[in-house]
Amino acid sequence: MINLGKLHDCKHVFGFFAQQLTYPEKLDFHPSVMEELLDSADPAYESVRTYWTIMHEYSIEEIEELYVQTFDFQAKSTLYMTYYKFEDGRERGQMLARLKETYEMFGLGIEGSELSDYLPLMCEFLYAAPWLGREKEAAESLNLMMAVMEDGTYHLLKALEKYNSPYAYLVQGLRDTFKACLSQEAATHEHD
């Protein structure tokens, strides 16, 4: 179960992950971006700092090429979180519909042709959704979304590690943030 208070405290970090997981732009890598959003107390800090240091060794053109090669040309490192479990099966369509309902429940539509399981979109939702004050109705939907993200990023992380990609550090930081948002009870059972 998600601790919705902790999830709310991490909203700004999910905004950072959304930004870093979309097609790169030069401003996304301005030195102040990480400094303004993360501090050393953040659970993702060490992993993200490693990612940030590595990425600053590249030019923006090299980062763009790395992004395309990593996420657009490698099926094993797709940013579509339900693909790992369901590929293109009927169950995936049902899960996409449930995720889309979550966005709509909070008045956030999906623009363009993006699917509801696109990791940057999911991170953006956690950053922008006005669910505080609606915790009771939000709990089930947010638990489902976080479960999909947790499962998908597990497979994504394994692929990124295999490719020796700097994005592995970013995804590890995202997973560390998920863990910090679990309720104490759920975190205890996870270690059993």
Q: Tell me the domain boundaries of the chain.
A: 4-190
Task: Enter the pTM of the model.
Answer: 0.90
**Average pLDDT over the chain, rounded to whole?**
89
In this prediction, residues 54-62 reach a mean pLDDT of: 96
Condensed to tens digits (0 to 9), the pLDDT of residues 16-56 reads 999 999 999 999 999 888 888 888 889 999 999 999 999 99
3-state secondary structure of 113: coil
Confidence of residue 192 (pLDDT cuts 50, 70, 90): very low
pLDDT at residue 186 in the model:
44
Question: What is the Cα–Cα distance from 57 to 127, expressed in whole angstroms?
Answer: 28
The runs of H, that is alpha helices, within the chain are 4-9, 11-21, 31-37, 45-55, 60-67, 83-86, 90-105, 119-128, 135-162, 167-180, 184-190
Residues 20-33 as b/e (b if ≥16 CB within 10 A, e otherwise) read bbbebeeeebeeee
CA distances from 57 to 21, 29, 50, 60, 168 (A): 18, 11, 11, 10, 16
Question: What is the Cα–Cα distance from 56 to 67, expressed in whole angstroms?
Answer: 14
Confidence of residue 185 (pLDDT cuts 50, 70, 90): low
- pLDDT greater than 60 at residue 191: no
Question: What is the Cα–Cα distance from 157 to 59, expressed in whole angstroms?
Answer: 24
Condensed to tens digits (0 to 9), the pLDDT of residues 89-139 reads 788 999 999 999 999 888 888 877 889 999 999 999 999 988 777 777 788
Condensed to tens digits (0 to 9), the pLDDT of residues 142-184 reads 889 999 999 999 999 999 999 999 999 999 999 999 999 987 6
8-state DSSP, 77: G
pLDDT at residue 39 in the model:
86
Which tokens in the block code for residue 16? 């950072």
